[in-house]
Amino acid sequence: MDFATSFALITPELILTAAGLVLLLVTAWGGDKAAKGITYAAALTFFAAGLTLVPGLHSGAVGPETLAFGGLLKIDSFALFSKALIYLAAIGCLLVAPSFFNSEAAGTEQGMRAEYSVLVLFAALGMSVMVSANDFMSLYLGLELNSLAAYVLASILRADTRSAEAGLKYFVLGALASGILLYGISLLYGFTGGTDFAGVRAGLTGELGTGALFGLIFVMAGLAFKIAAVPFHMWTPDVYEGAPTPVTAFFATAPKVAAVALTARVVFEVFGAQVEAWQQIVMFTALASIVFGALGAIGQENLKRLLAYSSINNIGFILLGLAVANEAGAASMLIYLFIYVAMSLGSFTALLMLRSDSGDLYETFGDISGLAVTRPAIAWGLLLLMFSLAGIPPLLGFYSKFVVFQATVEAGLVAFAAIAIAASVIGAFYYIKFVKVMFFDEPTDLVTGKSGTAHWAILFLTAAIISPLGYLLTPSLSDLAGKAAGALFLVP
Amino acid sequence: MIATLATFGLGVMLWSGYEIGGAQWQFTERAELVAGFSYALGIDGIALLLIMLSVFLMPICILASWGAITKRVGEYMAAFLFMETLMIGTFAAQDIFLFYVFFEAGLIPMYLIIGVWGGDNRIYASYKFFLYTLFGSVLMLIAMFWMVAKADTSDIPTLMQYDFPAGAQTWLWLAFFASFAVKVPMWPFHTWLPDAHVQAPTAGSVILAGVLLKLGGYGFLRFSLPMFPQASADFAWLVFALSMVAVVYTSLVALVQHDMKKLIAYSSVAHMAIVTVGLFSFNVQGLEGSMIIMLSHGLVSGALFLCVGVIYDRLHTREIDRYGALSNNMPYYALFFLLFTMASIGLPGTSGFVGEFLSLAGIYQVSTTVALICTTGIILGAAYMLYLYRRVAFGPEKNEDAQAMVDITPREWAMMVPIAAVVMWMGVYPESFLAPMRADIAVLDARIASATPASDSQLVVGKPKAEAANVVPYVESHTEEGAH
């Protein structure tokens, strides 16, 4: 395989890299005045990079011609699907940022910091590498590029102690998780003699030795941290609460997609021969995430913390699809991811719209009481999003749970599905609390600030996607997800 | 208002267009909109009648809310129209997942109706309603997945003919039972109902009692019985036992209520218990009787809630003691109230009688004891309803403000008269309601009879053998019935 073909395969990454470097220079000379322009340029870059994915996504790229750089990267349709989702999420998080940062309440006297968009670009580049990794080295490279950019993003409001605290927490715990992951990789390397996925897989056939088992467990633990699954979820509420809301929206969407996709690839392509070994781990993690995500959210008063627990809960359902360990399960997981991204993006955008005239953000239940009277449009948008997150039909959130549970039951894991679905009723409690506060309580008339066009556009778009209209998307979505999941199961 | 009347007009056309004795499923349409299940609609006689009930009650609900709802009227009406869509969808769904979508989606508008426009304790009631019903139905969803994976189709008519293995039927039946028993509601899963009824606005109560409770009965009729006939036969004792407790217990509870809406809510539980017993009697009389009770109860308890609403709008209290001797100053109101009270008791000539007589006749063929106990429910029903009526309409003139209330307005006439007319019609000539569903009930009966063990005495669980001998061999009779 020559370099030209390899480079052709990574066109989107090249676009992101080039744009990231150029915009970094613009930042250096233009300063924060250029922030808005840089944001839109970055969003356009993502759009352009996304466009290059379309042909491959459509035709369903699989096989040896998807390997780049001697097998370091694998640009199959699974990677393409995940990348498309990551770019979409990143565009959303870029567009909502300017009007958030350009207010005094955000603690940025000088307005938005231009680095924000550049960091998002680099983080997304790291994620691109993660989802197409076919070797533990490229996996770690992508993961760290993503994580380092993310640590900075979390603490981008330097003057704000909460933001700084979030960044520090994320960094310390993230570094620990990276260490665990790396240790697992080294164990696997020691026991199988390779770092490429195919080589490790070949070394893991038959009886699983203790050393390799430890390697597997360490790798799984490191990945579980990145996707914020129980029992490695402790950082999530703090980081989500402390980070600026656009950054939280970003954390809740794009890196989740990347980490879940990475986990799926690792368990199927590397540990594909050891399903019994990891299936129970994933099952436990999934159930524990669903239950703890639901229980933890009940007492929360801060909306961002609540959504953090909600994302843990959702990750549980996504892992449920993974635990099924077959093609239908992986496809359902991807469909769930897509719908989850739309719902999270919408919810966090709605939170961004809750502000006073002077731009102060409101983040607690007390502040949004009676929102249906004072700001009906936001309230109805949030109503749709919350019922959708609770999985109530006819909203699209029901469809995501529908596919996951269908895959679970068809694989014969009926008891498992029954426990998970019963726990989802606990989750419904706090989602409908949102609705109760907004619709049933007395209005407080705090939320008076105007919202930017981008916010309205994203809220409207996500609400439209999760409304019953979204079902019109499902045939093409399940077609694409089916192709992408199929790519995972080609390894002999 | 106009929209609901237009829908009602369409409903009438639907009924006149429905060919009795034609194909089992009519007006079908199917579109593959969604990956995983299809958007398939179609109705049979059973669904037709329940759809008619929904579209008939809806304009009346809107009328009832005309003056009572003053805040956020637009949203209120939107919620009701959304509700109507979903109810019709539930009865017409031909795909099991589509049924679930419509069935569950009703939670959203109803949660809002109770929570936004409800009474003082509305938040508690709306939570309880939402979580209770949601928990019931998610297990049903798991069962549906299993069935569809097994039978490889999500088409309801096909599933109704599919024989699931006997061992699995038990679990599937229990999962469906969890959902429908909450919805009906059966004792002891009924506790959400009094709360929801009391706190909901009048029109919300009417819809809740009139149509939403029927979803449970419809579910038993459409899913539990034809899809799991064996398990239904095995668990009939459970249904009988719970229903017997419900009939007696909730009637006694109703007797001591001070709140009118609560009293009617408990009476709903008692009536629906007779419905469930009739459904599980496994014969044509029982099934037809249950259907008629469901229709009749939808009208009568809806009308009773409207009656409560009429005086609530004037005095803003549901305390029975705050009223009295209303027959003096509100004679027409008292007349309608009396009519619906009698219909609720089951006086011959009203719709209540037909249904209760038919279903008790059906039950009697299965178990005399069950029939006996259910009949005491009717006596108790007469007791609490007449007691209520006496306290509200007769007695000494003890409350001056109650005596100052004016009689019903033309708008309220417009709500009462149509229901009263249909109640009488159903009581005097039930054939027009029995005819559309006869063929479908016969199909259903043939389906469950084929799977039911020949000796029906096994349904009489915990009874001495001697009583089982009371079971009339009725196998010939119901084939005749089906041939009509």
Q: Indicate the SS3 state at residue B19.
A: coil
For residue B21, is pLDDT > 60? no
The first and second tokens of residue A486, run together, are 């199929």
> Which three-class secondary structure string do you get for chain A?
CCHHHHHHHCHHHHHHHHHHHHHHHHHHHHHHHHHHHHHHHHHHHHHHHHHHHHHHHHHCCCCHHHEECCCCEECCHHHHHHHHHHHHHHHHHHHCHHHHHCCHHHCCCCCCCCHHHHHHHHHHHHHHHHHHECEHHHHHHHHHHHHHHHHHHHCCCCCCHHHHHHHHHHHHHHHHHHHHHHHHHHHHHHHHCCCEHHHHHHHCCCCCCHHHHHHHHHHHHHHHHHCCCCCCCCHHHHHHHHCCHHHHHHHHHHHHHHHHHHHHHHHHHHCHHHHHHHHHHHHHHHHHHHHHHHHHHHCCCEHHHHHHHHHHHHHHHHHHHHHCCCHHHHHHHHHHHHHHHHHHHHHHHHHHCCECCCCCECCEHHHHCCHHHHCHHHHHHHHHHHHHHHCCCCCHHHHHHHHHHHHHHHCCCHHHHHHHHHHHHHHHHHHHHHHHHHHCCCCCCCCCCCCCHHHHHHHHHHHHHHCHHHHHHHHHHHHHHHHHHHHHCCCC
Tell if the CB–CB gap between A409 and B145 is shorter than 8 Å. yes
Chain B residues near residue A409 by CB distance under 8 angstroms: 142, 145-146, 149
Answer yes or no: do B138 and A417 touch at CB < 8 A.
no
Beta bridge partners of B319: B259
Q: Say if A462 is an interface residue toward chain B (CB within 8 Å).
A: no
pLDDT of B244 over the 50 cut: yes
Chain A residues with CB inside 8 Å of B36's CB? 399, 402-403, 406, 474, 478
Q: Give me Rg for the CA atoms of chain A.
A: 21
Closest approach of B148 to chain A, Cα-based (Å): 9
User: Identity (one letter) of the amino acid at B186?
Assistant: M
Which residue among A418, A429, A478 sits closest to B142, beta carbon to beta carbon? A418
A402 near B CB under 8 A = yes
Q: Are B51 and B91 in contact (CB under 8 A)?
A: yes
Residue B19 has pLDDT above 80, yes or no: no
Note the pLDDT tens digit of each residue in B342-353.
888 888 888 888
Q: pLDDT value at position B478?
A: 42
Q: Does A406 touch chain B (CB under 8 A)?
A: yes
Q: Is the pLDDT of residue A237 over 80?
A: yes
Is B32's pLDDT higher than 70? no
Q: How confident is the model at residue A21 (pLDDT cuts 50, 70, 90)?
A: very high
> A196 is written with which tokens?
């490429």
Q: Is B29 helix (H, G, I), strand (E, B) or coil?
A: strand
- Report yes or no: B483 and B286 within 8 Å, Cβ to Cβ: no
Q: How far apart are the first and last CA of chain B?
A: 39
Sequence-separated (6 or more) residues with CB below 8 Å from residue A357 = A448, A449
Q: Do A405 and B145 touch (CB under 8 A)?
A: yes
Which segment of A261-265, A486-490, B396-400 scores lowest on mean pLDDT? B396-400
B280 neighbors B408 (Cβ within 8 angstroms): no
Both tokens of residue A126? 């790291």
Average pLDDT of B89-108?
A: 87
> CA–CA separation, B302 vs A364, rounded Å?
41
Nearest residue, CB atoms, B107 vs list A392, A406, A422: A392
Task: Give a yes or no: residue B63 inside a domain.
Answer: yes
Mean pLDDT throughout A151-165?
A: 86
Question: In this complex, is the C-beta atom of A102 within 8 Å of any C-beta atom belonging to chain B?
Answer: no
- Report the pLDDT averaged over residues A308-315: 93
Residue B477 has what pLDDT?
41
Q: Is residue B39 assigned to a domain?
A: yes
Q: Which amino acid is at B218?
A: Y
- A55 CB-near residues (< 8 Å, 6+ apart): none
* pLDDT classification of B24: cutoffs 50, 70, 90: low
Chain B residues with CB under 8 Å of A332 CB are none
Q: pLDDT tier at B7 (50, 70, 90 boundaries)?
A: low
Per the CB < 8 Å rule, is B105 touching A393?
yes
Q: Does A436 touch chain B (CB under 8 A)?
A: yes
| Min distance B131 CA to chain A CA atoms (Å) | 7
Averaged over B375-384, what is the pLDDT? 88
Q: What is the pLDDT of residue B403?
A: 78
Q: Cβ contact (<8 Å) for A435 and B127? A: no
CA of B115 vs chain A CAs: smallest distance (Å): 6
Inter-chain touch B134–A403, beta carbons under 8 Å: no
A contacts of B146 (beta carbons < 8 Å): 409, 414
Contact B141 A421 (CB under 8 A): yes
Residue predicted with more confidence, B72 or A85: A85
| Band of residue B443 on the pLDDT scale cut at 50, 70, 90 | confident
Q: How far is B108 from chain A (nearest CA, A)?
A: 8
- Rounded CA separation A265/A263 (Å): 5
Residues of chain A contacting B134 with CB distance shorter than 8 Å: 392, 425, 428
What interface predicted TM-score (ipTM) does this complex get? Answer: 0.87
Q: Is the pLDDT of residue B167 over 70?
A: yes
Q: The tokens of B252 are what? A: 């006694």
Instruction: Please tell me which residue of chain A has the smallest CA distance to B172.
Output: A414
Which tens digit of pLDDT belongs to each residue from B295-338?
899 889 889 998 888 888 888 888 888 887 788 888 888 889 89
Q: Say what the pLDDT of residue A338 is.
A: 94
Contact A124, A87 (CB under 8 A): yes
How many CB pairs below 8 Å do chains A and B form together?
A: 95
Position of tokens 């499923």? B25
The backbone region for B25, taken as left when phi is positive above 0, alpha when psi lies in -120 to 50, beta otherwise, is: beta
Note the Cα A95 to chain centre separation in Å: 17
Amino acid at A398: F
Of A490 and B170, the one with more pLDDT: B170
Nearest CA in chain B to A482: B35
Cross-chain residue pair B105–A472, CB shorter than 8 Å: no
CA distance B309 to chain A (A): 22
- Using CB atoms, pick whichever of A409, A425, A439 lies closest to residue B142: A409
**Could you say which DSSP state residue B95 is in?**
B
State the Cα–Cα distance between residues A304 and B379, nearest whole angstrom.
Answer: 57
Cβ distance B33 to A393 less than 8 Å, yes or no, reads no
pLDDT, mean of residues B363-369: 83
Cβ–Cβ < 8 Å for B153, B244? no
Chain A residues with CB under 8 Å of B141 CB are 402, 405, 421
Rounded CA-CA distance A74/B357 in Å is 73
Is there a contact between A204 and A274 (Cβ–Cβ < 8 Å)?
Answer: yes
Contacts of A405 in chain B (CB under 8 A): 141-142, 145
Amino acid identity of residue B389, one-letter, is Y
CA angle A144, A308, A245 (to 5 degrees): 75
Query: Cis peptide before B188, with omega less than 30 degrees from 0?
Result: yes
Residue B130 at interface with chain A, using a CB cutoff of 8 Å:
yes
Residue at B30 is within a domain: no
pLDDT tens-digit readout, A340-385: 999 999 999 998 888 877 767 788 888 888 888 888 888 899 999 9
Number of domains in chain B: 1
Residue-by-residue DSSP string for B101-149 = HHHHHTHHHHHHHHHHH--TTHHHHHHHHHHHHHHHHHHHHHHHHHHHH
In a domain, B23, yes or no: no
Can you tell me the distance from the alpha carbon of B115 to that of B199, in angstroms, rounded to the nearest whole number?
8
Q: A240 CA to chain B: closest CA distance, Å?
A: 28
Task: Tell me, yes or no, if A6 comes closer than 8 A to chain B by beta carbon.
Answer: no
Q: Which pLDDT tens digit goes with each residue over B213-227? A: 888 888 888 888 888
* B36:A403 CB<8 A: yes
For A432, the closest of B130, B146, B149 (CB atoms) is: B130
- Give B26's strand partners: B43
Q: Is some CB atom of chain B closer than 8 A to the CB atom of A409?
A: yes
- pLDDT value at position B34? 56
Q: Quick one: CA dihedral B463, B469, B470, B474, positive or negative?
A: positive
Which has the minimum average pLDDT: A40-44, B194-198, B280-284, B471-475?
Answer: B471-475
Distance CA B122, CA B107 (A): 15
Of the partner residues B112, B141, B146, the one whose CB lies closest to the CB of residue A439: B112
Phi (first) and psi of residue A67, to 5 degrees: -80, 135
Tell me the nearest-neighbour CA distance from B318 into chain A, angstroms.
Answer: 22
A490 touches chain B (CB under 8 A): no
Check CB contact under 8 Å for A406 and B130: no
Closest CA to B38 of B157, B141, B159, B155: B155
Query: Amino acid letter at A248?
Result: T
| Widest distance between CA atoms in chain B | 67
The DSSP output letter for B186 is P
Cα–Cα distance list, A143 to A65, A124, A390, B92, B208 (Å): 24, 10, 31, 51, 54
Partner-chain contact A425 B134, CB within 8 Å: yes
Residue A25 CB neighbour total at 10 angstroms: 10
Chain B touched by A477 (CB under 8 Å): yes
The residue-averaged pLDDT of A394-399 equals: 89
Which residues of chain B neighbour A321 with C-beta distances below 8 Å? Answer: none
Structural domain boundaries enclosing B338? 2-16+35-483
Q: Which of B97, B103, B108 to mutate to test the interface with A (most CBs of A within 10 A)?
A: B108
B21 domain-assigned = no
Given pLDDT bands bounded at 50, 70 and 90, which one contains residue B473? very low
Of the listed ranges A148-152, A308-312, B335-339, B445-449, the least confidently predicted one is B445-449
